[in-house]
Amino acid sequence: MSSVPTTSQERALRLGTRRSELAMAQSEGIAERVRKVTGRPVELVGISTYGDVSREQLTQIGGTGVFVAALREALLRGEVDFAVHSLKDLPTAQPPELVLAALPRRADPRDALVARDGLDFEGLAAAGGARIGTGSPRRAAQLMHWARGLGAVIETVSIRGNVGTRLGYVRDGELDAVVLAAAGLHRVGRASQITGLLSPDMVLPAPGQGALAVECPAADTRLAAQLAELDDPETRIAVTAERTLLAALEAGCSAPVGALADFLDDGQDVTELRLRGSVGTIDGTTLVQLSTTGPVPASADAAVALAQSLGRELADEMLAKGAAGLMGERAL
User: Residue 37: CB partners within 8 Å, gap ≥ 6?
Assistant: 1, 2, 3, 4, 226, 227, 229, 230
Give catalytic status of residue 139 as yes or no: yes
pLDDT of 117 strictly over 70: yes
pLDDT tens digits, one per residue of 261-306:
999 998 888 889 999 999 999 888 999 999 999 999 999 999 999 9
Give catalytic status of residue 88 as yes or no: yes
Q: Do 245 and 263 reside in the same domain of the chain?
A: yes
> What pLDDT is recorded for position 332?
43
Percent of the chain with pLDDT over 70: 89
In a domain, 4, yes or no: no
> What pLDDT is recorded for position 8?
43
Number of domain units in the chain: 3
> What pLDDT is recorded for position 48?
83
Lowest mean pLDDT, pick from 2-16, 125-139, 185-199, 222-236: 2-16
CATH code where residue 90 lies: 3.40.190.10
Give catalytic status of residue 33 as yes or no: no
pLDDT tens digits, one per residue of 152-178:
889 999 998 899 999 999 999 999 999
Catalytic residue among 18, 110, 253, 276: 253
Q: What is the dihedral of CA 148, 150, 154, 159, to 10 degrees?
A: -90
pLDDT of 126 strictly over 90: no
Helices (H), the chain: 21-38, 50-53, 69-76, 121-126, 137-150, 163-171, 182-187, 221-227, 233-248, 300-320
pLDDT tens digits, one per residue of 323-332:
888 775 444 4
Q: Do 318 and 246 reside in the same domain of the chain?
A: yes
pLDDT of 202 strictly over 90: yes
Give catalytic status of residue 274 as yes or no: no
Q: Under a CB-based contact definition with an 8 Å cutoff, are residues 253 and 91 in contact?
A: yes
Determine the average pLDDT of the residues in 194-211.
97
> What pLDDT is recorded for position 5?
47
Q: Do 194 and 246 reside in the same domain of the chain?
A: no
Q: Do 146 and 163 reside in the same domain of the chain?
A: yes
Catalytic residue among 18, 106, 110, 138: 138
- Maximum CA extent, the chain: 66
Q: Do 101 and 216 reside in the same domain of the chain?
A: yes
Burial string for 41-58 (b: 16+ CB within 10 Å, else e) reads ebebbebebebbeeeebb
In a domain, 204, yes or no: no
Q: Do 101 and 21 reside in the same domain of the chain?
A: yes
Catalytic residue among 160, 274, 312, 330: 160
Question: What does pLDDT average to over the chain?
Answer: 90
Give catalytic status of residue 138 as yes or no: yes
Q: Do 219 and 71 reside in the same domain of the chain?
A: yes
Structural domain range at position 77: 13-105+211-231
Per-residue pLDDT band for 149 (boundaries 50, 70, 90) equals confident
In a domain, 1, yes or no: no
Catalytic residue among 88, 187, 236, 276: 88
In a domain, 46, yes or no: yes
Lowest mean pLDDT, pick from 52-61, 113-122, 221-230, 235-244: 52-61
Catalytic residue among 139, 190, 236, 243: 139
Q: Do 99 and 115 reside in the same domain of the chain?
A: no
Give catalytic status of residue 190 as yes or no: no
In a domain, 306, yes or no: yes
In a domain, 7, yes or no: no
